[in-house]
Amino acid sequence: QMSMQPRWIDRLSRLACRLVRNGLGTRWVVAVSGGSDSVGLLRALHAVAPEAGLTLFVAHLDHSTRGEAGRDDASFVTALAESLGLTCDLGRWVPQRPNHFESDARKARYAWLAQVALQREAGLVAVGQTRNDQAETILHRVLRGTGPKGLAGIPRLRRLPEGPTLVRPLLDVDRDEIQAYLTTLSQSWRTDSSNFDTGRTRARIRHDLLPKLAHDYNPLIVDALNRLAHLSKASLEIVKDRV
């Protein structure tokens, strides 16, 4: 059955098995917002869980900015988890600094996910960032000003301050591939309207800058930026080994 799955799910299975062999544990918390990336991550991990020996827990954090739509997201994720026979933890965070929403939300989300992992005795927290997110992150850092470390992009693995390890299993997967997979499963997902709010820098990069670069300069801009991240990371590792 696995051979009939998309190739990226086979890679995901190998990654999960490798992390388990490396002692990071079989209990994983999966962060699910309800969007296609996180829903795809959950469905794919659920598919490979028997082979990798994983026990999965779902976690969803409401950022308190979308009212009824946010509550509908929580209901959607809860129902999805139940349909897969999984436990779902729900949380709520209230922004305190409107001008710092993106950075504050990220910190609050990871802190809460780490807390859920500790409560569930899980060694890993999985989030659904993709190669598209990697490209957006690198562009964002270039615009703000960055060096080799920033150009290395989002790491696949990093230890959270609270103890668990954060893993991004889909960093080499395109969002279109994930949505195509969900379509084959007849699996719906939620669309967060705030992702289209071009008052936020990240949304402008996703919906304005990246499409313009792809249309006017390089149709493979996402590939190019991901290649830059890979080469920058490799260069940093070489320097580290020489020190």
Q: What pLDDT does 195 receive?
A: 73
168-210 pLDDT per residue, tens: 999 999 999 999 999 999 999 998 777 777 778 888 999 999 9
State mean pLDDT over 121-129.
96
Does residue 171 come out as left (phi exceeding 0), alpha (psi in the -120 to 50 range) or beta?
A: alpha
**Angle, in degrees to the nearest 10, between helices 7-21 and 36-52:** 60
* d(C-alpha 211, C-alpha 141), whole Å: 17
State mean pLDDT over 72-95.
94
Residue 166 pLDDT greater than 50, yes or no: yes
